[in-house]
Amino acid sequence: MPHPTRLLLAAALLLAAGCITPPTTTTYDLVITHANVVDVETGTIRPDQTVAVSGGLIRQLGPTAASAPRATRTLDAQGRYLMPGLWDMHVHFRGGDSLVTANRNLLPLYLAHGITTVRDAGGDLTPALQQWQQQIAAGQLAGPTIFTSGPKIDGPGAFWAGSLEVVTPAQISRALDSLQALQVDYVKIYESTISREAFLETIAQAEKRGMRTTGHMPYTATLAEAAAAGLDASEHLYYVFKACSSREDSITAAIRQSQGTARPIGLFAALPAVYRTYDPATAARTFRMLAERRTAVVPTLYIQQLLADLPTTDHSRDSLLAYIDPKLEATYARRLAGARQQSAATRAFNQLLGARFRSLIPEMQKAGVLLLAGSDSGASNSYVYPGAALLGELDQLVRAGLTPAEALRTATLNGARFFGLEATAGSIAPGKAADLLLLDGNPLANLAALRGPHTVVTRGRVYSAAELRQMLQAVRRR
């Protein structure tokens, strides 16, 4: 006689495979038939599947049967590829109240490029953003699901407007109180002026409150101490890169000693020394440490390369510039001016740095580091167009050595994993959010298939390619 737990297991497997048909009275909101479902976890295709959606959730997934389940709307995928919506894990909504509309008009750019979730990495438009979140959830505004840190935490006289400026433990406690009152999704720390002590104290206090932290890091701190304190993700590769130097300790000590002197050493001044002392064995140890500590990394390769190329690239005829409000485009001027002033040596170094950064990616992947795809698009980040820039990031990750499946995971399941939401989002399975992309080609074969999705579904709402084009047209410059 079969063991009862085996029977239960068999039933559970049947349920998981979606083989049990629902009662005939069920009418789904949406049923998609004959889809090649992209399993981002295993990197495989499940051919000829039916996906049933109601209440914004995937309810059923299984082989397409002779008669489709009843639905308000049925979509015959005709062998197209159905994958989970993309997550851009590093964007910004910012620039002050005069740019609220310009920022809101970026939302359709994300959707039109298949991005159904974004993580706002700190800004000064939190009240507006929270209003959009509510409107998007209520179906009154078309846009991706937004996770946000609210205002950044930094030191006194912080570079970014709206930052919470902290020095003492009491100030850090008050800053975290205010973020908890805003019900932010995590805490973003920035390093324009924050001290090493305040940085580590912020992570430790947030950890005690059960709040996730990510950040830039003051170069006076080491990655290992930040990870040990509980940092949940390192934004950009500069900080991971310093921890790949065989001289991290002496470089960090020199930076620390220079603070408060007439010539403090900043991040960019220290980078050449970090580059020269890069050590593969140290890098491997660092990546193992990040994997063990579950500290995620957001490489942002695309913006790094775009800024490295900025001095020699004319973006004035970019087709996507037509969707960027002129007031938002005006915020691009600062980086552009900086790029134009760069010396030939700096330009050459930035190219070398880009190549070295790419070389870290497959090593981190092999070590089991949680990689998150982020574009860093938003005001001030010149020509990093919302939506398209995430596709650029995925191309960079493949160029760096990831398989298309591994790259897709950084922009789907890994995003959900970072927020502890892998049971309810990030892939196509019953019980998960109905954030879906229908593509003409197989993205596991070539990420070019992500360009121009046939249909985008967010929280069960269907946007055809024609509707997405109309949404873009509505925010196009006159």
Which residues contact Zn ion (rule: CB under 5 A)? 121, 376
Q: With CA atoms as reference, report the closest residue to 465 among 433, 445, 426, 437.
A: 437
Give 216 or 461: the residue with its C-beta nearer to Zn ion: 216
Quick one: CA torsion of 461, 466, 467, 468, rounded to 10 degrees?
90
Q: How far is the CB of 51 from Zn ion (least distance, A)?
A: 34
Q: Which is nearer to Zn ion, 84 or 374 (CB)?
A: 374
Closest contact distance (angstroms) between CB of 215 and Zn ion is: 11
State in angstroms the smallest separation of the CB of 216 from Zn ion.
Answer: 8
- Least distance from Zn ion to the Cβ atom of residue 52, Å: 38
| Cα–Cα distance measured from residue 49 to residue 61, given in angstroms and rounded to the nearest whole number | 7
Of 80 and 152, CB closest to Zn ion? 152
How near is the Cβ of 65 to Zn ion at its closest, in Å?
47
Toward Zn ion, which CB reaches closer, 325 or 376?
Answer: 376
Q: CA-CA distance, 344 to 352, in Å (whole number)?
A: 13
Amino acid identity for residue 279 in this structure: D
What is the spatial distance between Cα 12 and Cα 469, in angstroms, rounded to a whole number?
42
Strands 455-458 and 436-439: antiparallel
Supply the minimum distance, in Å, between the C-beta of residue 376 and Zn ion.
4
Under 8 Å between Cβ of 243 and 290? no
Q: Which CB, 206 or 303, lies closer to Zn ion?
A: 303
The 187-189 sheet, strands edge to edge: 164-165, 153-154, 187-189, 213-215, 233-235, 296-298
CA distance 252 to 385: 35
Residue placing its CB nearer to Zn ion in the complex, 37 or 179:
179
**Comparison of 158 and 444: residue with beta carbon closer to Zn ion:** 158
To the nearest whole angstrom, how small is the minimum distance from the Cβ of residue 238 to Zn ion?
Answer: 12
Q: How far apart are CA 293 and CA 27, in angstroms?
A: 45
